[in-house]
Each structure stands twice: as structure tokens, then as C-alpha cells.
Amino acid sequence: MNQPFDRRHFLKQAGAVGLGLGLAGTFNPLARAADALAGSTGPTPTPGADKLGWKLAVHSYTFRKFNIFDAIDKTAALGIRYMSISGSVNLVGTTAMPTTSLTPKDQERILAKMKANNIVPKFVNIGVVQLPPDEAKSRAVFEFAKNFNIDTLVSEPPTASLDLVEKLCEEYQIRVAIHEHPKGHSIYWDPALVLAAIKGRTPLMGACADVGHWMRSYLDPVECLKKLEGHVLALHFKDLNKQGPDAHDVPWGTGASNVKAQMVEMKRQNFKGAFCVEYEYDWDNSSPEIAQCAKFFNATCDELAAS
């Protein structure tokens, strides 16, 4: 059933992040295995995107009604070779659980499933995850990311956590991309607030630009990207039917977000990284719309790469 943005219930479900992991400092073989798998041959990259240094990835939250293995199958069926993983996932026969509570065996199964489906078996990022001021809990998230071979955390850390986050970023050499939910649901809803949080800090801290949530906050995504120049580490890329809190996703290039202009801007900034499809509409069967998004992305990349 179609429904608009639902405030992403994982914020509540991920509250247990960092509890009971028992992984800190004890589990390194998976990271080495993931490195080996990530070097395996996948589908041929789209020429334009490859030339620009861009990756089209499906964010697993898009398929939150399905287990992670089905999400991988759905991504593969779309011909997309990269994925990011949400802060909460379903395993077979389970309800949503914090991703950071996955066991080493679960992690191995997920990477093997990606490899078998010709998806690069290394998630481009994970999030949204919680990074509280409690060092043990936040450190457990960084440790999980290290062991799962993920180099970028997407988070909305409270102000009280920023010094700790910077310390852990530098210690682990893992990036934190600050995400923003819409105005009224996030302390980072405006790019100026993200810039204030990272001012004077390590370049390992930057922004995860959720361009759809800017639309819901009545902000112009192109202007927001310009303000964040040099600090965008990842994108939750979307096109919405209109501005405002009740707006919903539509196939890229058919809505009010001026997504082509956003891609032009990211080329101007010489951005290298992932455009993550986080399609928060038509939850039961969003694949046809995502296929349209991928077609638009690939065609635009080819055009921009040639210009």
C-alpha cells in the first residue's frame, strides 16, 4: 500500500545499538575476508558513472518490508551492483533488529549472498546508526563497521557526542556522514547545522545529503548541495513529487527536485562516491520505479561524462 514518509521507525529500533555485541577487538577475520570478496569481479560498471567516480547503490531500507537476503535479490534483479545497509535489518524469519547486532556468521552469509548475486560484497555505508555520548556504545558501532569492512557511518550524533565521534573517526579511520531528517525531526535538518557541527573538525566528518528530506523541509536541494561543497561524503538521493512534509518519492527526473541539476552540481564539486537509492514509497513493489531511477541515473551520467 502506498504511503508517505513514515519517520523511519529504525530510530527507535536501533536504540539498542552497541549493546551485547561482544565483538570489540576480537573479530578481524571477516574484515580480511570482505576485502578479498570485494576484489571479486562484478557486473560491468556503467561507463558514465565509472568515469565520474560515482556508484549507484540501493539502500536496504528501501526494501525494509523484506529480509536482507530478499533485498539483495531485488537489487541484483535491477542490475545495480552496490548497496548500503540500514541501521536495522530483517533476517529470514525475524523482525527488524539493529544491524550492529548481526553475528559474524550472519555477516558472512550476507556478503556471500551479495557475491553470488554479482553485487560488490562491501556496503558503501551503514546507517542511520546511533552514536551516543557513551564511549563504549559508540565504539562498538565503529568496531562493528571495521569488522564488516564498512568505511562510512551515517548518523545524526547528538551535540554531546561530536568530540567523541571525531576521536573515533580518527582512531578507526572511518568516516561519519551526518544525516538529516526533516525540520522538526532532526537537529541537522538544514545544511548550516551540519556545517556548524563539523567546523574545525577532521575531514572524516561530513554530510550524508538526504535531498528528499530537504524538500520536505522546504529547502532547495541544489542550493543545499552548494552550501555543503567539499563536505558531502554520501547521498540519499531522491526525487519527490513536491515540497512539504507530505511529499513522496517518484522516479528520478519526474518530480520537483531538479535531480539533474543536483547531479550537475555534484560533478562540478568533483564528488566521488555513492548515490544511494532510498525509495520510501510503494513499499510492497518499488522495483519498477527504482528501475526508472537507475535508467535516468545511467543516462545522465553518460551525458555528464561526455561533456
Cβ pair 262, 232 in contact under 8 A: no
Cβ–Cβ < 8 Å for 101, 20? yes
Whole-angstrom Cα distance, residue 305 to residue 261? 14
| Cα separation, 6 vs 4, whole angstroms | 6
Check residue 14 and report its DSSP letter.
Answer: G
**Residue 173: how many CB atoms within 10 A of its CB?**
12
**22 backbone dihedrals φ, ψ, rounded to 5°:** 65, 20
What percentage of the chain carries pLDDT values higher than 90? 84
pLDDT of 16: 36
CB 188 within 8 A of CB 180: yes
- The answer, yes or no, to whether residue 120 has pLDDT greater than 70, is yes
Distance of CA 220 to CAs 7, 213, 224, Å?
20, 10, 6
- Inform me whether the pLDDT recorded for 80 exceeds 70: yes
236-275 residue pLDDT tens: 999 999 999 999 999 999 999 999 999 999 999 999 999 9
Per DSSP, the residues of 167-191 read: HHHHHHT-EEEEE---BTTBTT-SH
Q: Give residue 19's Cα distance to chain centre.
A: 22
Residue with cell 572524516: 204
Q: Which domains occur in the chain, in start order?
A: 10-306 (3.20.20.150)
**pLDDT tens-digit readout, 273-289:** 999 999 999 999 999 99
Once rounded to an integer, what is the mean pLDDT over residues 201-228?
98
Quick check: 15 pLDDT over 70? no
| DSSP SS3 for 165 | helix
Task: Read off the pLDDT of residues 193-213 as tens digits, 9 standing for 90 and up.
Answer: 999 999 999 999 999 999 999
Which pLDDT score, from 0 to 100, does residue 93 have? 83
How does residue 46 score in pLDDT terms, banded at 50, 70 and 90? Answer: confident
Q: What is the 3-state secondary structure (H, E, C) of 266-277?
A: HHHCCCCEEEEE
For residue 40, give the amino acid letter: S
Reading the block at residue 248, the C-alpha cell is 513522496
Taking alpha carbons only, the member of 111, 9, 110 closest to residue 68 is 110
Residues in a beta bridge with 126: 85, 153
**Which grid cell sits at 5?**
514518509
The C-alpha cell that represents 250 in the structure block: 517518484
Three-state SS for 202? coil
Do residues 43 and 76 lie in contact, with contact meaning Cβ atoms separated by under 8 Å? no
Instruction: Please name the residues in contact with 158: beta carbons below 8 A apart, sequence gap of 6 or more.
Output: 132, 133, 187
DSSP symbol at 126: E
d(CA 191, CA 180): 8
Q: Which three cell numbers stand for residue 196?
A: 556548524
Nearest to 74 by CA among 9, 119, 122, 120: 119
Contact assessment for residue 275 and residue 259, using Cβ atoms and an 8 Å cutoff: no
Report whether pLDDT(189) > 80. yes
